[in-house]
Structure 1
Amino acid sequence: MAYTGDVTVGGPPDVHELTHLVITKIAVGPMENNAYLLRCRATGDQLLVDAAADAPALVELVGPDGLVGVVTTHRHGDHWGALAEVVAATGARTYAGRHDAEGIPVPTEVPVDDGDQIAVGRCRLTARHLVGHTPGSVALVYDDPEGHPHLLTGDSLFPGGVGNTFGDSAAFTRLLADVEGKLFAQLPDETWVYPGHGADTTLGAERPHLAEWRERGW
C-alpha cells in the first residue's frame, strides 16, 4: 500500500519506502506524538527521531538491529519521555539542538547546530535550527538523490501553520522567519513534511498560506 502517514496510537506504523532510506512513522501516547525510525537500506543502520513515549513500542519497532542514534527535535517533555529507556535498551548516541540540550534530562552526546549533518549509514540528514517553539528546535532534511527532499519538523511546522509560540509575538515572528528562510526558501514544493504530531503535508500545500499565517499571528 502507498504511504499516507496516517497513524494512530496503538495502531500499526506506516512505512515510506525510498530508494536509499526507509522512513517508518508510528504514533505513541499519551499526547499522540509521532516518532520516526529511519533505516539506511545499504547498511541497515537505524536512527530514531523523537523517543516520545511508550518505550516498549519503540524498542519493538527498532528490533534486533539496534540504533546508531536518537535525535530529539526539541526540549518539550512529550518528545523525550521514552528517551532514557530507549537509549538504555539500544546504546544509541543522543543528538539534540545545542540550545535545547540543557532542557533534556538525558545527556546529549552530540549537540547539533544549524547545517550539521547526521549520518544514517550512507544517508545524510542536514539539521536546520528553528527558533521560536523552543530556543533550540531542529528540523532534519533528507535530500533524496533519487527524488524530492523529506523534512522532519518536530513541532516547528504542521499542516496549517508553524508551531505554538505560546502567545509570544516575538517568538512567532522569529519562528515564521526561520521556517520561511531555512525551509520554504530552500526546498521545493514537493518536499514531504513529517511533523511531531498528526498528519503529514508538503511544503507546496502550505506555501500559499504563509501570508495568512503572518497576518493572523499564530
Structure 2
Amino acid sequence: MTYTGDVTVGGAPETRELAHLSITKVAVDEKMSNNAYLLRCTATGEQVLIDAADDAERLLELIGGGGLTAVVTTHQHWDHHRALAAVARATGAEIVAGAPDADAITEQTGVTVTRRVQHGDTVAVGGCSLEVIALAGHTPGSIALLHTDGDTGVPHLFTGDSLFPGGVGNTFGDADAFTQLVGEVEHKVFDRLPDQTWFYPGHGGDSTIGAERPHLAEWRERGW
C-alpha cells in the first residue's frame, strides 16, 4: 500500500518504510482524532512512540512484543497523553518531553518525565536518530522531531500541534504566542529544511514544507 498519511479513527494504520526507519501512523479518539506515530529501527527492532494520545489498548497492540524504548510527548495538552500512564506501565519505556512542559505533563498524568529535552538534543530509535526542534508558542515546551532518511536524504518531521497543513498551531488568541510560534516555525523549520521535507502533525493529514511555504506570509497576516 502506498503511504498517504490519511488515517481515520477505527481504521487501519498506515506504515511508511524509509531506508532504516519504519513509521506507522494511527488515529485515536473520535472527538479529537489525534495521531500517534510508532517508529521502528529496521536494523535493531527498537521502537519509539510519539504521543501516547489515547486508546492504550490499540497502541500496545501496535507496539506488540518488540517493546518500547521511549515515549516522546510533543507537548503538554491533555489530548496528547491520555494513554501515557498505561503505555508507560506496560512497557517501562523512557518518558521524554520538552523541558518547559515536563512538569505539566507529570501533573496531568502522574507519569514522571524521565528525560527533559532541549532544542538540539537527540532521541535514539535504535541506530536511527531524531533531532529535537523546540517550537514554543502552542505551549512553552512544544517540540518537533526530525529524522533524515539515510538513503534519499529527505527529512521527515513530526510536528505535534506546532505545524499543520494550512498553518501553525492554535495560540488561543494570544498575539504574542502566535508571533513567537510563527517566528520559530519560520526560522527553525522553513528557513532550514528543503521543500521535499515531509511532515507529520498531531491531528489530520500530512503535508510537505514545499506545499506550505508559499503561504507563510498569509499565516502571519491573518494572525492565527
In structure 2, what is the Cα distance between the partners aligned to 1:9 and 1:128?
A: 28
The amino acid of 1:213's aligned partner reads W
- The answer to whether 1:194 aligns with 2:200 is yes
SS in 2 for 1:100: helix
So what's the TM-score if we normalise by structure 1? 0.99
SS in 1 for 2:88: helix
Partner of 1:70: 71
SS in 1 for 2:100: coil
- The answer to whether 1:161 aligns with 2:162 is no
Shift of 1:177: 0.6
The amino acid of 2:5's aligned partner reads G
- Equivalent residues in 2 for 1:105-120, closer than 5 Å: 105=106, 106-120=111-125
The amino acid of 1:83's aligned partner reads L
Give CA-to-partner distance per residue, 1:105-139, whole Å, 9 cap, x none. 22100001000010000000000000100000000
- Equivalent residues in 2 for 1:80-99, closer than 5 Å: 80-99=81-100
The amino acid of 2:129's aligned partner reads R
- Equivalent residues in 2 for 1:1-218, closer than 5 Å: 1-29=1-29, 30-105=31-106, 106-147=111-152, 148-218=154-224
In structure 2, what is the Cα distance between the partners aligned to 1:156 and 1:139?
A: 8
In structure 2, what is the Cα distance between the partners aligned to 1:166 and 1:208?
A: 24
In structure 2, what is the Cα distance between the partners aligned to 1:80 and 1:55?
A: 10
Give CA-to-partner distance per residue, 1:7-43, whole Å, 9 cap, x none. 0001000001111000000000041000000000000
In structure 2, what is the Cα distance between the partners aligned to 1:162 and 1:72?
A: 18
SS in 2 for 1:210: helix
So what's the TM-score if we normalise by structure 2? 0.96
| Percent identity of equivalent pairs | 64
Structure 1 unmatched runs, 5+: none
